[in-house]
Amino acid sequence: MALVQVRVGSLGKDRNKDIPVVLLTEMEGERTLPIWIGPAEASAIAVKLGEMDFARPLTHDLLASAIRECGGKVERAVVTRVAEHTYFAELHVDAPSGRIVLDSRPSDAIAVALRSESGIFVEEAVFEAVAAVMPKPGDPEAPEVPDDPAEPPK
């Protein structure tokens, strides 16, 4: 299991499909992994990237806070696989009782990891699988997203 550390490279709306997309970019490399996500999850990621504050905790803030209050620490989010155009992820939590691995949608795992200042990783096999089917930049099928990672989807 080879893990590749990534960061949120960009967040926006795929203009070709009219769907929010988060681009995860290698920390030490040039590969990018596009993951199409829902509008609510895109907003949750954008809120954290834009360092916006709210008077009351949002759902992902609540989960991160609950983990901390129970004595746990979010260690990392991991995009583990892709099957039939669906990505799968896990949230790894160090808890007083030991490591807990929670099944998660990638967008939720990313939103919680950002709030917990935890690492975000992608299995090498996911990069390899997606590279075989992803259109190259400039191809009409390639996602078009803004350069500013904090720009929320429109």
109: domain CATH number? 3.10.690.10
Assess if residue 45 is contained within a domain.
yes
Assess if residue 153 is contained within a domain.
no
Which of 20, 28, 69, 70 lies closest to 49, judged by CA?
20
Range of the domain at 103: 3-131
The Cα–Cα gap between 128 and 125 comes to 5
Q: How many distinct structural domains can be found in the chain?
A: 1
Express each pLDDT in 54-94 by its tens digit. Answer: 878 888 988 999 999 999 999 999 999 999 889 999 999 99
The model scores a pTM over 0.85 = no
Quote the pLDDT of residue 139: 57
Assess if residue 14 is contained within a domain.
yes
Assess if residue 146 is contained within a domain.
no
